[in-house]
Amino acid sequence: MLKIKIIKDGPLCFDGTFTYRDDGEVSSKFDGASLTLCRCGNTSRTPFCDQSHNSFSFIADDHLNVEYKVSNQNAVSLDDSIFVKAIKGGPLYIAGPVSIVDEGGASWEGNRVKLCRCGYSQIKPFCDGAHKNMVPVGENP
């Protein structure tokens, strides 16, 4: 299972074994790795956090208690592996068993999720589609 810890008003910390595919369709395998991924939309090292969230007032009012489901849109064939894909101009799409916890102890578990990385979702850490009306990920001022 991929474990994701939410840092309050900061990045997402991924811990597990998974395949990551960037929005240029380049895949990398992370084996038991811990990665800190941006969700404010301002990093210059996409997908990784570069502490840019500290340079402005990134406030993430997280909503792990909402009922959140994604359709099979962007579905990938699954074996036992966990697949993380950066959707161009949009969220991180994750297929495979994942658990998310915040610093307050709230949690969410599931097998498919889209996590906001533009910083504009009203139901962070989940994507609510707000990126469609915003500056593309990685190009925020």
Is 90 near ligand FES (CB under 6 A)? yes
Q: Are 125 and 64 spatial neighbours (Cβ–Cβ below 8 Å)?
A: yes
Among residues 72 and 77, whose Cβ is nearest to ligand FES? 72
Is 120 near ligand FES (CB under 6 A)? yes
Among residues 18 and 93, whose Cβ is nearest to ligand FES? 93
The binder of ligand FES chosen from 15, 130, 135, 140 (CB under 6 A): 130
Q: CA torsion angle for 61, 62, 66, 70 (degrees, to 10)?
A: 120
Reduced DSSP (H G I as helix, E B as strand, rest coil) percent helix, strand, coil of the chain, to 5: 5, 35, 55
The residues binding ligand FES (CB under 6 A) are 90-91, 116-118, 120-121, 127-131
